[in-house]
Amino acid sequence: MPTHTTFVDDHDIVRQVIAGDINAFGFLMQKYQGHILTVVGNHIPHNQAEEVAHDVFVKAYQSLLTFKFKGGFKQWLSAIAVRTCYDFWRKEYRSRETPMSSCSEEEQNFVERALAKQSIQATSQENSQKEASELLDRALDKLSPEDRMVLELVYLEGLSGKEAAGLLGWSVANVKIRLFRSRKKLRKILTGFLED
């Protein structure tokens, strides 16, 4: 939980940057680099996380004049990070060549490997971290960017609907409706993988 002092310190640095001291932004970057990498790493494949985190800090710098000195800088920066991740998936979604419903040979092989396990329990205990992560990534890849972001923030990360709405800039009602629908879609995709 950020303290009042943290807010004031961050606010002072933001004022310095706005007044023209570009190097002061380096302090903010150093302070929040780890946090932003965690946020970005949760949503973006690791091989592209560096590039996206780079974009986050550049966007933050360019948007600094819109920063309201009422809330915390960390929260404001997190919202930029989440929206940058959302933009990343929107671009990815548009540039996809294969239709979302098709199942690649690689995916089929993965499902067969998963089916070879005797039970889900066995899958989750043995060496399962990597496999579970792969299965989840494959399932999330089949969702729209909106569904993916809501599902990751609320269902997987455990944020409240209000927190997710604040980060995405959506209404709480929109988040709740989308979460309900995307959970149903995820279930359908996962059961589809394992029952086919």
Q: Does 133 bind other proteins (CB under 8 A)?
A: yes
- Min. distance of Cβ 171 from other proteins in angstroms? 25
Task: Write phi, then psi, for 99 (nearest 5 degrees).
Answer: -65, 150
CB 98 within 8 A of CB 104: yes
| CA distances, 63 to each of 3, 49, 77 (Å) | 23, 21, 10
Identify residues 82-101 at the interface with other proteins (CB under 8 A).
none
Amino acid identity for residue 194 in this structure:
L
Q: Does 191 bind other proteins (CB under 8 A)?
A: yes
Q: Does 37 bind other proteins (CB under 8 A)?
A: yes
Specify the stretch interacting with other proteins by CB under 8 A; choose among 1-9, 91-99, 122-130, 165-173.
122-130
Residues 66-86 as b/e (b if ≥16 CB within 10 A, e otherwise) read ebeeeebbbebbbbbbbbbbb
| CA distances, 169 to each of 104, 146, 175 (Å) | 34, 12, 10
- Min. distance of Cβ 97 from other proteins in angstroms? 26
Specify the stretch interacting with other proteins by CB under 8 A; choose among 2-10, 80-88, 117-125, 160-168.
117-125
C-alpha–C-alpha distance, residues 118 and 132, integer Å: 15
Which listed residue (104, 109, 187, 192) binds other proteins by CB under 8 A?
187
Within a 10 A sphere around the Cβ of 121, how many other Cβ atoms? 10
Specify the stretch interacting with other proteins by CB under 8 A; choose among 83-91, 100-108, 121-129, 141-149.
121-129
C-alpha–C-alpha distance, residues 143 and 117, integer Å: 26
Pick 99 or 103: Cβ nearer other proteins: 103
Q: Does 18 bind other proteins (CB under 8 A)?
A: yes
Residue count, binding to other proteins (CB under 8 A)? 50
Within a 10 A sphere around the Cβ of 126, how many other Cβ atoms? 10
Which listed residue (132, 144, 181, 189) binds other proteins by CB under 8 A?
132
| Positions that interact with other proteins (CB under 8 A) | 17-20, 22-23, 25-26, 29-30, 33-34, 37-38, 40-42, 46, 49-50, 53-54, 57-58, 61-62, 64-65, 115, 119-121, 123-124, 128-129, 132-133, 135-136, 152, 155-158, 187, 190-191, 194-195
